[in-house]
Structure 1
């Protein structure tokens, strides 16, 4: 246990509990002849692994200020040139991810797959898809993410509750053409897929071959156009699917229980910096555990630089990983599980269930700091960049002596406060990805991943849009407006100049005869509303309708038709 901090380190803040001073049975620190300097033997013991004396300290006990690596990123954090120069439209930003290279790959492989399906005897009309048409197809996918009708065919239906006077999809592409592209859309080459399938069961088999061409490009684009800030987080993400694939995962505690698991590195603003698709433990075979391999594969010093702080949950946190990150020049902080290898298991002076809310206990083991905090339940943290307690508090409900509930300040460790502030990067990203997502149920697992790539591109583009607006001091759009404008730019249909439908519902005479003597008999019909005789009819519907000042059946009928169609006149 550290008795007194050396003079070269600032004395940390201590805290006295509301019920009185700390009841720790430790001996008060004594100043010796060296004026506060720790003897060499004790200093060596305090800075070596496993140096704790087998008991938990309280927040009143002094702690060392950790030696945090200097933050030296490889590039200036934020949006990277050339996006920082001038103003960029949503299409310009999104093209940084889905550029001409990606569009050409999709067109070439989709045409090959369509030819193969025709040779197999499938019946559909096909013409080669070109880049401009593929962009329109992607624009319709984004539009469908905003509208979200039950079935794809509903977007082209006219006799439905959802029909609007301006049928956007029909002005861009026919329904049969859209469905034909959807059925034949392919990311990889069909011939290469067949060769890869022959290797199934061998080490040369690539289970992600069908998405590999775009997967590598997407990861590189996410890292190239944006550089994360100092605090980043690692967590898993689930893409909902029940396709028949061996790497499909089931996670009971997740909102999306069945799907494809991704390990994601995200900035605090929700930007997806990098990701890995989990296909089994065999792909992470360093022998140090899956969590160790995942974090070290996502955190690349050659790309990031040094001094970054990685936040993670108890699935990834381990003393072995944190010491390795410290050697690489990174900081780390995360929750940890009781009983894990390297986590102190001593019960001496540890908090119990009866400990008051806000009780803090800690043990420093070399560069690692383990902190226990009693909130609603006990929370255990491990960090290499924070001190135990710096005076932070949090409001919690507490029952007073007279039975009333009130919010009272409760001490909170620095690691917990910083963890709550910076750990939500992946969760923020998931929330933004779920807003107006293009994801739709499909039997093809690789199409599910392709849809997720499109969601990542749109969400990251929106985050870049907000960053650029902050640079130029402009007001940014909402995420929905951003996606609407992006869909309009991809399809080539401007939002502010929607063409009006031609109205053929005009009142015309029943008979155009010039003989006035014949109009009384031949030039009249029975009104379909009031059943009276009228010389007027609807040009489009060809039915009799009255058109008089005191009996305007024509307008009443057309107003009713507009309500039935869900539109307006």
Structure 2
């Protein structure tokens, strides 16, 4: 079924100092509205009406105007915050997030954890690690995600056609394993005192992650300032380890704030239980408010979220902070419209739109293959957009059809896909490994975030300089080599010698002396200028103009 619509002029201007004026419908039953939908008197075409805050759902012929936010005023110039004339290798960019200070902290804490483990009865040879050991350890960890084998020990397997040459040259297997077993981001001697505070506000459930977590989140905000469009998503990090912090189905919940233009991770937090909430508005509200800090972001941003975060209270409070919000919503969420007057039904054709405006909030329902519900504080309900849908026509053939689509849905799909792009970058070359420690799982995920952000900074620098960036895999390869102190390209090996020695004579009788059949060496005669006898000759001597046997 084809859907026809009339394009709408959305160039509305409003005074920023005064709230938008809306024409309210006086009739509660909606009879006159239904009449105007079918057309006006004397056969004139239907008029677009300006409606807001009604007790009925408006249709596609009703005009909606979005409130205008103040202009975009970021705290810093959006984009990377690096020297535009500087030269940055992959290791330089990665070291912005995992700097030398973080490596030194890891060294101290790993050494303390190893001593503590040995005191508990662990039996292995331990030599205190240095910073160079940590860099090589990280380099091998990234190498394992590029060259995948079933188990870590397989990288040191010898005397097989599947043996790896590079890992044994960087670090011995037992050295890598002992460092892996003792990874600790915090001082292990502080854990008992923190465990005694369990259940009290002073207890930090993320103490085991705190040093590296603070360093990486600070670096994410320091070296890049996001563009106007932001997104917040809930990410699940799977683990089979025994965990001490709050998790669902053996998965950690990470709340990630990212730039919708390129997928850069601006900030993230880890859910550690409801006891960490700072207000009574719920987890979703507190998460968004903690990530959207105007003190370092600025004002006028546009935020896109999924239905986990969307609530009218949150969106109105963000609007008061001059931050527009758009996201999917659940119909049973508190303060969402519950009226069934002219509501969307399952029998409506694809492309049908219903909307209600309540002050700065517009609630839109759209029929696609199923009902889609979305809410926004900076979009009009509908401005004439269409989207191509693959569907079955009346004649039974499949094809693409232009279907009317609400403005918030178009913009939501456009900006939320960048978060998926960031997730794909992390998953393509993730260094995630099976582990029995929960904090080790997050340690590897922190490295994934750092490497991905470093690559996105590399792309930003290349785009600014109009250069072709490396591929993601090429970037990780260069980073791996630089962490291990080598180069990706190695000099070609010397071609095998074609001259093979063969004996001059075959001594079959035991009575013959040992020097029987020896001949003068041509090399010694011509190069060393001395006579020397040898029992060997070159098997290719017949191809040379002189006789090696003389």
Q: Does the alignment reach a TM-score above 0.5?
A: yes
Give the deviation of 1:192 after TM superposition: 1.3
Please give the per-residue CA displacement for 1:196-219, whole angstroms capped at 9, x wherever unaligned: 233334332221111111111111
Residues 241-291 of structure 1 show CA distances to partners (whole Å, capped at 9, x for unaligned) of 02222435336xxxxxx3111111111212111111111112114111111
Residues 335-372 of structure 1, C-alpha deviations (whole Å, 9 max, x = no match): 11112111111111112112111111111110001111
CA distance in 1, matches of 2:122, 2:11: 79
Q: For residues 407 and 105 of structure 1, do their structure 2 counterparts lie closer, same or farther at Cα, with a shift above 3 Å needed?
A: same
1:396 aligns with 2:396: no
Superposition pairs for residues 120-519 of structure 1, below 5 Å?
120-164=120-164, 167-250=165-248, 258-268=250-260, 269-497=262-490, 500=493, 509=502, 515=507
The offset of 1:187, in angstroms, is: 1.1
The offset of 1:112, in angstroms, is 1.3
Contact 1:262 1:275 in 2 (8 A): yes
Pick closer, same or farther for the CA change 1:157–1:499 going to 2, 3 Å.
farther
The TM-score with structure 2 as length reference comes to 0.82
Maintained 8 Å contact 2:102/2:212:
yes
- Aligned match of 2:76: 75
Unaligned runs of 5+ in 2: 1-9, 21-31, 41-49, 515-538, 541-550
What is the CA deviation profile of residues 301-334 of structure 1, one whole-angstrom value per residue up to 9, with x for unaligned ones? Answer: 1111001111011111111000000111100000
Of stretches 432-441 and 496-505 in structure 1, the one that deviates more from structure 2 is 496-505
Question: Residues of 2 paired with 1:435 and 1:312: CA distance?
Answer: 24
Unaligned runs of 5+ in 1: 12-22, 31-42, 252-257, 523-546, 549-569
Q: Which moved more, 1:57-66 or 1:210-219?
A: 57-66
Could you tell me how far apart the structure 2 residues matched to 1:334 and 1:357 are?
Answer: 21
**Aligned counterparts of 2:454 and 2:504: Cα–Cα separation in 1:** 61
Deviates more, 1:154-163 or 1:356-365: 154-163
Q: CA deviation at 1:512?
A: 8.2
Q: In structure 2, what is the Cα distance between the partners aligned to 1:183 and 1:506?
A: 50
Q: How does 1:73-112 map to 2 (within 5 A)?
A: 73-82=74-83, 84-112=84-112
SS of the residue aligned with 1:390?
A: coil
1: CA distance between counterparts of 2:224 and 2:183?
A: 29
Query: What secondary structure is seen at the aligned counterpart in 2 of 1:423?
Result: helix
**Cα distance change, pair 518–391 in 1 and its aligned pair in 2 (3 A):** farther
Mark the CA change 1:150 to 1:197 in structure 2 (over 3 Å): closer, same or farther. Answer: same
Q: For 1:153-197, what per-residue CA distance to the aligned partner results, in whole angstroms no more than 9, with x for missing partners?
A: 111112334325xx1111111111111111122211121123223
> TM-score if structure 1 supplies the norm length?
0.79
Distance in 2 separating the partners of 1:346 and 1:230: 34
Aligned partner of residue 57 in structure 1, secondary structure:
coil
Larger mean CA deviation between 500-509 and 130-139 belongs to: 500-509
Is the 1:232–1:425 contact (alpha carbons within 8 Å) kept by the matching residues of 2? no
Question: 1:273 is paired with a residue of what secondary structure?
Answer: strand
User: Does the 8 Å contact 2:253/2:270 carry over to 1?
Assistant: yes
Deviation by residue 1:410-450 (Cα, 9 ceiling, x = unmatched): 01111000000112343222211111111100001111111
Counterpart in the other structure of 1:37: none
Distance 1:417 1:327 in 2: 24
- Per the alignment, in what secondary structure is the counterpart of residue 192 of structure 2? helix
More displaced stretch, 201-210 vs 366-375: 201-210
Distance 1:342 1:492, change over 3 A: same
| Counterpart position of 1:62 | 63
1:487-527 Cα deviation digits (max 9, x unpaired): 10111111112574997999554x7878575699x9xxxxx
**1:9–1:65: 8 Å Cα contact kept in structure 2?**
no
2:237 touches 2:252 (CA, 8 Å); kept in 1?
A: yes
Inter-partner Cα distance in structure 2 for 1:80 and 1:512 = 73
- Paired residues in the alignment total 484
Measured in 1, the distance between the counterparts of 2:13 and 2:263 equals: 39
The verdict on how the C-alpha distance between 1:347 and 1:434 changes in structure 2, with shifts beyond 3 A counting, is same
Map of 2:546 onto structure 1: none
Asked if 2 retains the 8 angstrom alpha-carbon contact of 1:24 and 1:58, the reply is no
- State the Cα deviation string for residues 52-108 of structure 1 (Å, max 9, x = none): 2211111211222321231111111111033x3322110111110111110100011
| CA contact 2:64–2:382 (8 Å) conserved in 1 | no
Tell me the alpha carbon deviations over residues 460-503 of structure 1, each in whole angstroms, 9 at most, x when there is no partner.
Answer: 00111111110111111111110010010111111112574997
Classify the secondary structure of the residue corresponding to 2:96.
coil
Query: Who is 2:117 aligned against?
Result: 117
